[in-house]
């Protein structure tokens, strides 16, 4: 059957679609060519392939101006207290807390809702040791061969080096992987805005860790290919971020940092 012949079936097909009133309004706004194309795609779609996004009414919980200001201020104070920690205690983090944190992270927005990420939690001592050994090998090369003098000068003020004991000290490591393409269902599909999507999910994760009363470190040994090998990840996944989480040691130290003032970072037009 030629494409044009689907035109006579357009409205009959629309009646057969399992859509709600909000989706139907969107379909009504299409011109005749778009309607024909939509029906053509529906008829030719795989049996388990959804071509329509269902919609529901957004449940907005209204706050008054005072509550909005108070919530925004309290959240700002919570996040201003967040610091990157390298000195972790051995105190364990409950599995349920980690689960809640990760459920927050995977709720973040993503390009076309592709959710191009995987989160791997490592609590095994043996695996943490393997990760530390591999990471320190790469970090040693970085500090001795790869890094420029300017880069090293910027790092020296923080007193960091190639040794990364926090990879074993922290009770858990969360490794975020970016999926360059989707291979679920045995079919290779394109993912969109992968770096942006995984970056937003990482921000959700760090925020959830802070909100739970835990601390973390955003660690990026370069290159990170060893994580894919140690954790036996599929070919479409590349390590994006390694985050040790837990509780700080009693004597944990953080550098005294100056942040750019608001007027220097923000411009309101």
Per-residue pLDDT of the chain (269 residues; tens, 9 = 90+): 454 444 444 444 444 444 444 444 455 555 666 666 666 555 555 555 566 778 899 999 999 999 999 999 999 999 999 999 999 999 999 999 999 999 999 999 999 999 999 999 999 999 999 999 999 999 999 999 999 999 999 999 999 999 999 999 999 999 999 999 998 877 899 999 999 999 999 999 999 999 999 999 999 998 999 999 999 999 999 999 999 999 999 999 999 999 999 999 999 99
Q: Are 227 and 128 in contact (CB under 8 A)?
A: no
- What are the structure tokens assigned to 85, written together? 């920690």
Triad 21, 25, 30: Cα angle to 5°: 145
Structural domains of the chain, ranges and CATH numbers in brackets = 3-44 (no CATH), 77-252 (3.40.109.10)
Q: Are 192 and 111 in contact (CB under 8 A)?
A: yes
How are beta strands 189-190 and 181-182 bridged, if at all?
A: antiparallel
Q: For 146, which DSSP code? A: I
* Distance from C-alpha of 142 to C-alpha of 2, rounded to nearest angstrom: 60
Q: For 91, which DSSP code? A: -
Q: Look at residue 53 in the predicted model and tell me its pLDDT.
A: 78
Q: Look at residue 41 in the predicted model and tell me its pLDDT.
A: 58
Place of tokens 């036996």: 232
Signed CA dihedral, 98, 81, 118, 220: sign only? negative
* Distance from C-alpha of 90 to C-alpha of 171, rounded to nearest angstrom: 6
Determine the 3-state secondary structure of 145 from DSSP.
helix
Q: Are 217 and 248 in contact (CB under 8 A)?
A: no
**Nearest-CA neighbor of 189 among 96, 114, 107?**
114
Q: Look at residue 222 in the predicted model and tell me its pLDDT.
A: 86
How are beta strands 172-179 and 237-246 bridged, if at all?
A: antiparallel
31 sits in which H/E element: none
Q: Look at residue 54 in the predicted model and tell me its pLDDT.
A: 86
């Amino acid at each position: 059957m030629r494409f044009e012949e689907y035109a006579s079936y357009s409205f009959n097909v629309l009646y057969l679609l399992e859509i709600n009133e909000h989706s139907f309004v969107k379909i009504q706004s299409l011109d005749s060519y778009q309607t024909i194309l939509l029906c053509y795609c529906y008829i030719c779609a795989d049996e388990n392939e959804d071509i329509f996004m269902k919609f529901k009414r957004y449940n907005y919980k209204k706050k008054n101006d005072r509550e909005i200001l108070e919530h925004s201020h309290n959240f700002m104070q919570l996040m201003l207290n967040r610091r990157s920690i390298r000195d972790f205690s051995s105190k364990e983090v409950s599995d349920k807390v980690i689960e809640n944190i990760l459920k927050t992270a995977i709720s973040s927005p993503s390009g076309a809702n592709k959710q191009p990420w995987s989160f791997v939690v490592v609590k095994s001592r043996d695996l943490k040791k393997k990760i530390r050994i591999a990471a320190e090998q790469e970090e040693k090369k970085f500090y001795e061969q790869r890094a420029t003098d300017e880069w090293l000068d910027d790092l020296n003020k923080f007193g960091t080096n190639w040794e990364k004991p926090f990879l074993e000290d922290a009770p858990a490591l969360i490794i975020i992987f970016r999926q360059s393409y989707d291979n679920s269902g045995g079919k290779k599909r394109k993912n969109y805005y992968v770096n942006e999507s995984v970056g937003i999910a990482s921000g959700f994760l760090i925020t959830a860790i802070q909100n739970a009363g835990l601390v973390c470190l955003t660690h990026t040994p370069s290159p990170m290919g060893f994580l894919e090998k140690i954790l036996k990840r599929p070919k479409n996944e590349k390590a994006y971020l390694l985050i040790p989480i837990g509780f700080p040691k009693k004597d944990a130290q953080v550098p005294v940092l100056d942040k750019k003032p608001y007027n220097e970072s923000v411009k309101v037009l």
